[in-house]
Amino acid sequence: MQGWVISTNVARCRDCYRCVRTCTAKAIKVQNGQATVVPELCLACGNCVRECPQGAKQIREDRPAVQEAIRAGKTVVASVAPSAPAYFGIRSFSAMEQALLQLGFAAAGETAFGAEMVGQAHREWVEAHQEQWPIITSSCPVVVNLIEKYYPDLIPHLAPIVSPMVAHGRWLRQQYGPEAFIVFIGPCIAKKAEMLEESVAGAIDAALTFTELAEWMEEAGVAFPADGDGAEPAPRVPARLFPVEGGLVGTANMDTDILTSHIVTTSGLSACEDVLRGIRAGKLAACMVELMACEGGCINGPAMEDHIESVYVARQRVMEYASRRQPKPMPARHEWPDLSRSYQDKHVPAPEFTEEQIQEVLHMVDKYTPEDELNCGACGYPTCREKAKATLRGMAEATMCIPYMRRRAESLRQVVIDVTPNPVVIVDSRLQIQDLSPSAERAFRCYRQQVAGKPLRTIMPNVDSFVQARDTGQPVVGEVVRIRDDLIVEQTIMPVPGQSLLVGILRDITEQVRQREQLEHIREETLRRTEEVIKKQMRVAHEIAQLLGETTAETKMMLSRLAKVLEEDSD
């Protein structure tokens, strides 16, 4: 269970910037077109997981660790969040307990047991520390992250009390021993990060979402037994209302009237920040504020959204469930586990940039005057200047400006690319195809939509020159490459400064190469035949010379004999 809570499946991330737009903390870093979460800035609220249309944001899976603990024979105990009825529709906890036992858990209990302790502890802290009013409740890990990372000056207002998950985990540890493997099951992604916090580490060994549990049950063929109405109705158990807005206040038996000025309850990150700004400005007069990051409370957690009809239906289910009897009475106060915790200033200061630096980035996307700054928010940042700062910080890319990219696509330069007979290939630094000109589509016999985002090797057998241009930053000019037997090109590859792109311009020289090859073939054939003729002529000349030599010798002999005969006759 290492790594941050949220990761990115880069194969699914497609430059939509929706996660950036929905991230309150702007903890999403976009690099080479891929959006990844920066843990130091992340609140673990899960908004990016909710909003990603491609399912590219993934939650850390803790189920393998739980299953390994069960296989190892450990005592695995579950702490189930009180919002479970809203997700699973159960009417009594016994149904959940029986299902978990079938999966291999040794025991299971309700996190509401720890919520009861936490509620009372908050009431006592508020009463005993009026000098620190308003006291901020500490049960929502996202709110704790928000304060530690972005409002560290308000840490003194944060109640030094653990969440119900940690309280119940520590209680279960007391009951089942230090070797027990304690598993929290709930609707919250941030619990996976909270369990690793230094001041509460050791209380929980793994945190599963309701979604993980549901998938596990389906794979194992485990279903909830029919549980009827469960236990007989009794006075409502306040701790089971903990996951709804105002739940902690109700558990602590404090006044929940929304018109009561000394108690403030709110949900949703935007509303929470509004309250925190009021406290920082010294304008909020209250003894306690209960802040919940998810609108409506934990019943609208990031692992709940796809499984509930509405927040109001979920709230109704939890309230009906809360009217059942609590499975066991609260222990005496001296038997409670330690409920204290500490906090850290985790603020990461944002670097400062000069106006010249900001203007330089703005100029990269053709923004030269205030009128050019549309502040449309399509990139995920509220203003063009904020996006420019994020670019300088390394959190964004200049080309994230959608209006600029649209203008660029519609510019005359694009028209030139569309009509040029030379194929044009544009790839990113990972050599994934970003665009093809129409002539390139024809040359490679494919459509841009088919290969966009795929490796360049999909259409080109040899990409060594692209690698060279990327690694050296220097263009490769005039290299001849054989793509297919019927396609030979002369390629020029140029890196695009500041944009992590490479542009390849390919000139089809197939016909020229074929003509050269034919001329070479004719030359070689001519030389071969010339050599044959020369050899033949030399052979004929040699034969003629040989014949002439033999004839001359015979003539000489005949003449010598004739002369000798004549001499003899004269005598």
pLDDT at 521: 80
Predicted pLDDT of residue 95: 93
Residue 236: the pLDDT is 41
Distance CA 563, CA 55 (A): 120
Percent pLDDT > 70 in the chain is 86
* Res 349 pLDDT > 90: yes
Which of 203, 212, 181, 168 has its CA nearest to residue 79?
168
Q: How confident is the model at residue 255 (pLDDT cuts 50, 70, 90)?
A: low
Any idea which of 247-251, 257-261, 328-332 has the lowest mean pLDDT? Answer: 257-261
Where is pLDDT greater, at 320 or 423?
423
The pair of structure tokens assigned to 399 is 């080309």
Region label for 339, one of left (φ > 0), alpha (ψ between -120 and 50) or beta (otherwise): alpha
Tell me phi and psi for residue 291, to 5 degrees.
-115, 130
pLDDT digits 0-9 by tens, 381-400:
999 999 999 999 999 999 89
| pLDDT above 90: residue 559 | no
Domains along the sequence of the chain with CATH: 1-60 (3.30.70.20), 61-335 (3.40.950.10), 352-407 (no CATH), 421-508 (3.30.450.20)
User: By three-state DSSP, how is residue 523 classified?
Assistant: helix
Count other Cβ atoms within 10 Å, centred on residue 354: 9
User: What are the pLDDT digits (tens) for 120-162?
Assistant: 999 999 989 999 999 999 999 999 999 999 999 999 999 999 9
pLDDT score of 230: 47
Per-residue pLDDT, 527 = 76
Residues 6 and 27: their CA atoms lie apart, in Å, by 11
pLDDT of residue 455: 93
Distance separating alpha carbons of residues 421 and 442, to the nearest angstrom = 10
Residue 17, classed as helix, strand or coil, is coil
Residue 415 amino acid letter: V
pLDDT at 307: 65
> For 462-516, what is each residue's pLDDT tens digit?
899 999 999 999 999 989 988 888 889 999 999 988 778 999 999 988 888 888 7
For the full predicted model, state whether its pTM sits above 0.75.
no
pLDDT score for 45 = 95
Residue 52 has pLDDT above 70, yes or no: yes
On the 0-12 / 13-18 / 19+ scale of CB atoms within 10 A, 351 is exposed
Neighbouring CB atoms inside 10 A of 156's CB total 13
**What's the CA gap between 318 and 299, in Å, rounded?**
8
Torsions phi, psi for 543 (to 5 deg)? -65, -45
pLDDT in tens, 59-95: 999 999 999 999 999 999 999 999 998 899 898 899 9
Q: Residue 305: what pLDDT?
A: 65
What are the tens digits of pLDDT across the range 178-231?
A: 999 999 999 999 999 999 999 999 999 999 999 999 999 999 999 998 765 444
* Interatomic CA distance for residues 388 and 373, integer angstroms: 11
- What is the reported pLDDT for 418? 80
The whole-number pLDDT of residue 553 equals 67
Give the pLDDT of residue 231: 47
Q: How confident is residue 4, by pLDDT bands cut at 50, 70 and 90?
A: confident
Which of 400, 426, 443 is closest to 494 using CA atoms? 426
Q: Write the pLDDT tens digit of every residue in 416-426.
A: 778 888 999 99
Q: Tokens 């009237």 — which residue? A: 257
pLDDT at 432 over 80: yes
pLDDT digits (tens, 9 = 90+) for 509-553: 888 888 877 887 887 887 787 777 777 877 877 777 677 766 666
Per-residue buried b or exposed e for 77-89, using 16+ beta carbons within 10 Å of the residue's own CB: bbbbbbbbbbbbe
Coil/strand/helix, residue 513: helix
Full DSSP string of 123-165: HHHHHH-GGGPSEEP---HHHHHHHHHH-GGGGGGB--B--HH
Q: Is the pLDDT of residue 456 over 90?
A: yes
136 strand-pairing partners: 158, 289
- CA-CA distance, 571 to 563, in Å (whole number)? 13
- Residue 136 CB-half CA count within 13 A: 33
